[in-house]
Amino acid sequence: MRVHVDWTRCDGHGACAELLPELLTTDDWGFPILTGGQREPDVPAALERHARRAVKACPVQALRLVD
């Protein structure tokens, strides 16, 4: 399972980075930076619940989990 950011929707609200800091931080302008510079980092099983919460928290539904 991987994290996918729909960059056309993302407006840098930053809720995702607060809920999934292991995989997401924010840049100068508030947009998420994914760990390791990967486009779609893997979600370890232990973080799956937090990842789902982060997906729900995004106010513009820019974050998704993909297989």
Partner 1 sequence: MTQLLQAPLGTNRLLGAAPDLPLPHLEAGGLIALVEQAGLTGRGGAGFPTARKLASVAGKAPGIVGNAMEGEPLSSKDAVLLSRSPGLVVDGLSLIGSALGARRVLLAVGPGVPTGPVRQAAVNSRVDVLALTGGFVAGQESALVNQINGRSGVPSDGLVPVFRRGVDAHPTLVVNAETLAQLALIARCGADWFRRLGTPADPGTFLVSISASRPATVAHPGVLEVPRGTPLRAVLTAAGTDLDRVAGVLVGGYHGAWVPPSEIDTLLTTADLARFDAGPGAGVIHVLDRGNCPLEMSGSVAAYLAGQSARQCGPCVNGLPRMAQTLQRLAVPGASPGLVAEVVRLRGLVHSRGACSHPDGTARFVASTMRVFADHVEDHLRGDCDARARRLDQV
Partner 2 sequence: MTLSDLDDALWALGRGTGVVALLMFTTTLVLGIVSRSGRQVAGLGRFGLAELHRTAALTGVGLVAVHVTSLFLDPYAQLKLVDLAVPFLGSYRPLFLGFGTLAVDLLLVITAVSLLRNRVGPRVFKAVHWLTYVLWPVALVHALGNGTDAGSLWMDAVAVFCCGAVLAAVSWRLLPSYAERGRTRVARVVAR
Residues that bind partner 2 (CB under 8 A): 8-9, 11-15, 18-19, 28-30, 57, 59-61
CB 2 within 8 Å of CB 66:
yes
CA distance 66 to 29: 26
CB 56, CB 18: distance < 8 Å: no
Q: In this structure, what are the phi and psi dihedrals at residue 66, rounded to the nearest 5 degrees? A: -125, 155
Q: Which is nearer to partner 2, 20 or 43 (CB)?
A: 20
Smallest distance from the beta carbon of 9 to partner 1, in angstroms?
7
Q: Which of 21, 33, 42, 48 binds partner 1 (CB under 8 A)?
A: 33
- Positions in the binding site for partner 1 (CB under 8 A): 4, 6-12, 27-31, 33, 37-39, 64, 66
